[in-house]
Amino acid sequence: MCGIAGFTGNKDHDLLLRMNRQIVHRGPDDEGYFEHQGINMGMRRLSIIDLQTGHQPIHNEDESIWVTFNGEIYNFQILRALLKERGHRFYTNSDTEILVHLYEEYGDDFIHRLNGMFAFAIWDIPRKRLFLARDRLGVKPLYYRFDGKNLSYGSEIKCILESPQYPHTISLEALSHYLTYRAVPSPMTIYEGIYSLRPGERIIFEKGAVAKQKYWRVDFSKTESYTEEQAEDRILELLKDAVRLRLISDVPVGAYLSGGVDSSLVVALATEMSDRKIKTFSLAYAEDLAHKKDSIYAKKVSEMYGTEHYEYTMSSSELPANIEEIIRYFDEPFGGVISTFFLSALVKEHVKVALTGDGADDQFGSYAHHRLCWPIENYIRARRLNKPESEVDFRPYVGNEDYVKSIAEDHLADWRIKFYALTDGDKKNILSSSYYEQMKAYNSLELLRTNLEPTEGLDSMNRLLDVDVNTLLPDEILTFADRLSMAHSIELRSPFLDYRFVELVATMPGTLKIKGGVPKYILKKVASRYLPIEIIDRPKEGFILPQDAWIKGCMKNYVHDLFSDERLGMHGFFNPQGVRNLFEGYLSGRHKNSYKIWNLVMFQVWYETCFLVRKKKND
């Protein structure tokens, strides 16, 4: 696990050093550089595999191919044996070294042989060619900028911002979509001209030109017929193997444990396979919050499987005290989950590597919009056929049918968009008139419709999951998982994101994912072999801050101050009175979506803490 940075063109050692220093937190154990005609490569290393000889950059036998690598290749031992049979010679025991030899042996398509999470840069000296790639699901990040002549790249945006030539311009399109989606949708970033390489993409820079290619996308269209028992067995078989591979490490491995189905099942399988006692970690709150009981269930799972359990108790005062530091790790405004920042601080005291349950919700159907899919579809179908509402299956919203009817729309995008933050209509009320005129063409609903287009022909559940796996998962879920763990130099590994597992689950019909109103139905059937019913049937919580309670309580004055005329006037994007009206409407209960407020809070904190500070530094 590392961070990488670099650029093509003339040598500039000072710039390379500055880029690398920006990601020390991603790799505090070691650093390395390769500077040659036409290329400048840097890396920071967090030592997990081959602690003694895994120093990067790494080269092939004749030093004509060089690589810097961030991530883990879980099947590297098999690939190493194959390459040795073909005559390749190794000088380290690391997973990184297989990349240069695979590139020699199979060319660009070697990437299909990798099972892992990764972002890497390969420099081919004879061809003066740079090859960048990001893993299939987007677990590890990679950003780039092409100025028309040279390409710069880095594990985090702040690496690229070190270039004195970059003008530091905010993308209005990215800002508009951020306000809706809570995170900037890739490939955009908040900065004009800086882009995120999307999951399953690679870039080739050669002869002054850039070519971007998609090498993998999960296919939901190949739905197969399974009995429930067959589906359970296949899920468990692949999940076990994914856990086994992710326990391979030269340092101890722990696990995040929320006490929900996903993390609890991973812990159950890990303790079954590991020859070491697993250390588990959960988050609790100092205040008594009725809806936040994660730690109680986490302790039950820990006791059941005999883990060495640790708990971090967070108080509401820690959020405003740390919010500026947290946003610096994102480099962009981010309105999603940030609680794992605090839990990762505890994890760092005990292990470098931790398993997670990330990715299960996005594949099996757990979020509110997933749970509403079948009730809305059933209601719309009955309405079209003039059937009585008494025949509609509203589960799990029995007793709350009016809510389902109030948001039901014929097109998936029209009701799905309601579960994000600020709507395109909200933007008209909160943006200043001049910026609204510039930004009104960037329609977030149309972007969602565009993302749904490739899913035509799938059942409604799998259409939603297809979009989530390709947008919500990498842009929000995996973004906070990566940034907030790497802030404390922790490597996360999620068995649910093994690409073989993802490909399997994509072939299962949506009716197995939510059935009879039960979210994650088939996964819960698997988990019932390992976990008690009180864990299986408990309401979903996860590591989500009680931001609703805190915005209305301990952070109310902080937010009021943040939304002052003076502070919002620093950039002029917003109409201060419109923002305050939105906040007052939230406090009074006229609308309940705390994400609308949280999004604006995180943008303003980012602007003051990151954008203004860096812009002044470079001016």
The answer to whether residue 359 sits within a structural domain is yes
The answer to whether residue 198 sits within a structural domain is yes
Q: Looking at the structure, tell me whether residues 51 and 155 fall in a common domain.
A: yes
Query: Which amino acid appears at position 595 of this protein?
Result: Y
Structure tokens at 93: 């025991």
State the pLDDT at residue 52: 62
Q: What phi and psi values does residue 59 have, to the nearest 5 degrees?
A: -130, 170
Q: Where are the alpha helices (H) located in 207-317, listed in sequence order?
A: 228-246, 261-273, 294-305
State the pLDDT at residue 1: 59
State the pLDDT at residue 215: 98
Q: How far is CA 557 from CA 212, 233, 286, 617, in A?
A: 47, 53, 20, 30
Q: Looking at the structure, tell me whether residues 595 and 559 fall in a common domain.
A: yes
Between β-strands 353-355 and 143-146, what pairing exists: parallel, antiparallel or unpaired? Answer: unpaired
CA distance 536 to 292: 17
Q: Looking at the structure, tell me whether residues 208 and 246 fall in a common domain.
A: no
State the pLDDT at residue 28: 85
Query: Which amino acid appears at position 36 of this protein?
Result: H
**Mean predicted confidence (pLDDT) in 434-447:** 96
Q: Looking at the structure, tell me whether residues 188 and 253 fall in a common domain.
A: no
CATH number, domain of 59, equals: 3.60.20.10
Q: Looking at the structure, tell me whether residues 564 and 601 fall in a common domain.
A: yes
Q: Looking at the structure, tell me whether residues 331 and 273 fall in a common domain.
A: yes
Return left, alpha or beta for 386; rule: phi > 0 is left, psi -120 to 50 is alpha, else beta: left
pLDDT of 614 strictly over 90: no
Cβ–Cβ < 8 Å for 455, 463:
yes
State the pLDDT at residue 593: 81
pLDDT of 49 strictly over 60: no
Cβ contacts of residue 489 below 8 Å, gap of 6+? 25, 26, 27, 28, 46, 348, 352
Q: Which of 536, 567, 593 is the last residue of a domain?
A: 536
Q: Looking at the structure, tell me whether residues 526 and 583 fall in a common domain.
A: no
CA distance 574 to 431: 4
The answer to whether residue 424 sits within a structural domain is no
The answer to whether residue 413 sits within a structural domain is no
Residue 289: Cβ within 10 Å count: 13
Write down the mean pLDDT value for the chain: 94
Cβ contacts of residue 237 below 8 Å, gap of 6+? none
SS (H, E, C) 105-164: HHHHHHHHHCCEEEEEEEEECCCCEEEEEECCCCCCCCEEEECCCCEEEECCHHHHCCCC
State the pLDDT at residue 218: 97
Cβ–Cβ < 8 Å for 221, 465:
no
Q: Which of 497, 518, 536 is the last residue of a domain?
A: 536
Cβ–Cβ < 8 Å for 343, 350:
no
- Tell me: the pLDDT tens digits for 447-472? 999 999 999 989 999 999 999 999 99
State the pLDDT at residue 591: 79
Strands (E) in 319-462, as ranges, are 353-355
Of all residues in the chain, the percent with pLDDT exceeding 90 is: 85
The answer to whether residue 514 sits within a structural domain is yes
The answer to whether residue 161 sits within a structural domain is yes
Q: Compute the C-alpha angle 566/569/573, nearest 5°.
A: 150
Q: Looking at the structure, tell me whether residues 68 and 147 fall in a common domain.
A: yes
Q: Which H/E stretch holds residue 59?
A: strand 58-59
Sheet holding 308-314, edge to edge: 308-314, 279-285, 253-256, 353-355, 491-493
The answer to whether residue 324 sits within a structural domain is yes
Q: Looking at the structure, tell me whether residues 530 and 557 fall in a common domain.
A: no
**Mean predicted confidence (pLDDT) in 518-536:** 97
CA distance 375 to 399: 12
CA distance 2 to 107: 24
Q: Looking at the structure, tell me whether residues 185 and 262 fall in a common domain.
A: no
546: confidence class by pLDDT, cuts 50, 70, 90? confident
Beta bridge partners of 195: 144
Which own/partner contact pairs does 430-434 have at CB distance under 8 Å and 24+ positions apart?
430/574, 430/575, 430/578, 430/579, 430/582, 430/600, 431/573, 431/574, 431/575, 431/578, 432/572, 432/573, 432/574, 432/575, 433/575, 434/572
CATH number, domain of 294, equals: 3.40.50.620
Q: Which H/E stretch holds residue 595?
A: helix 594-606
CA distance 2 to 99: 15
Domain encompassing residue 288? 228-364+470-536
- Tell me: the pLDDT tens digits for 386-423? 999 999 999 999 999 999 999 999 899 999 999 998 99
**Mean predicted confidence (pLDDT) in 495-521:** 98
**How many domains does one find in the chain?**
3
- Tell me: the pLDDT tens digits for 230-259? 999 999 999 999 999 999 988 889 999 999
Strands (E) in 286-407, as ranges, are 308-314, 353-355
Kindly give the interhelix angle for 318-330 and 478-486, rounded to the nearest 10 degrees. 100
State the pLDDT at residue 378: 97
CA distance 499 to 518: 25
**Mean predicted confidence (pLDDT) in 542-561:** 85
The answer to whether residue 386 sits within a structural domain is no
State the pLDDT at residue 295: 83
Q: What phi and psi values does residue 205 have, to the nearest 5 degrees?
A: -110, 115
Query: Which amino acid appears at position 443 of this protein?
Result: N
CA distance 538 to 199: 32
Q: Which of 536, 556, 574 is the last residue of a domain?
A: 536
- 60: helix, coil or strand? coil
Q: Tell me which residue of 479, 407, 430 sits closest to 597, measured CA to CA.
A: 430
Q: Looking at the structure, tell me whether residues 360 and 488 fall in a common domain.
A: yes
Handedness of CA 166, 170, 172, 174 (dihedral sign): positive
- pTM listed for this prediction: 0.96
Of all residues in the chain, the percent with pLDDT exceeding 70 is: 97
Return left, alpha or beta for 168; rule: phi > 0 is left, psi -120 to 50 is alpha, else beta: left
Q: What is the CA radius of gyration of the chain?
A: 24
- Tell me: the pLDDT tens digits for 252-305? 899 999 999 999 999 999 999 998 899 999 999 887 655 556 789 999 999 999
CA distance 98 to 339: 36
Q: Is the peptide bond between 396 and the residue preceding it cis, with omega within 30 degrees of 0? A: yes
Between β-strands 279-285 and 308-314, what pairing exists: parallel, antiparallel or unpaired? Answer: parallel
Q: Looking at the structure, tell me whether residues 250 and 198 fall in a common domain.
A: no
Residue with token string 């009206």: 581
CA distance 259 to 292: 11
